[in-house]
Amino acid sequence: MRIAACLLLALTCPPVAAHDMKQHSQDAAGTRIVASAGAPVEQLVLPDIPVTDKEGATAGFVGRLAQVGPVLIGFSYTGCVSLCPITHAILADVDQGMRGSKTPPLTIVTLSIDPANDTPERLAATARELDASPRWQWLVASPADTPALLSALGVASGPIESHDPVFLLGDMASGEFRRIVGLPDPRELLRLAGAMH
């Protein structure tokens, strides 16, 4: 499974200008797993801050996603070599899990936390590496707007090397989201997404 391989890689390779896995550790394996089923629903008030996708098209964050139904948002940056590949692997497994199945539609969003370096071209290259489907959007706000967008999403905008793995599963139209901190099982994310319909 993609997650196991990435987790092994992250735990055996020393981080270079990237996350220190010990910052996230609460167990001997070096990861923190939170049961997503127990994540409470929160109400988020999100600003319609302009974000640019991997094709270079800019639109409001809320407006672009308000009509798509359930969304799963992850946070990363393309220059990360330790924790973000695991986040990407989880989202890739969710993406793969929806191919050719009767799983209800879910839009996956990767929001960059490194707007100074994550150009549309870099986002597109990472999406290609992961064989991301069209349902997986790769977005970045401007350096000036990113802190406000992350704050509205309840994600710290501190040093990019020390952010926790966070996923938000919910609906832009209602603003209701489940916050999952840690490394959830992609099958559980799909189950929760299916329960939203």
Segment of 18-27, 139-148, 149-158 carrying the highest mean pLDDT: 139-148
Which pTM does this prediction carry?
0.81
| Structure tokens given for 81 | 């070599």
What is the reported pLDDT for 48?
A: 98
What is the reported pLDDT for 126?
A: 97
What is the reported pLDDT for 196?
A: 82
CA distances from 57 to 60, 65, 89, 137 (A): 10, 14, 25, 11
- Eight-state DSSP code of residue 30: S
For residue 122, is it left (φ>0), alpha (ψ between -120 and 50) or beta? alpha
Q: Which structural domains are found in the chain, ordered by start?
A: 2-195 (3.40.30.10)
Question: Phi/psi at 49 (nearest 5 deg)?
Answer: -70, 135
Q: What is the pLDDT of residues 91-101, one digit of tens each?
A: 999 999 988 76
Q: What is the pLDDT of residues 9-53, one digit of tens each?
A: 333 333 333 333 333 333 323 333 444 456 789 999 999 999 999
Q: Which residues pair with 76 in a beta bridge?
A: 112
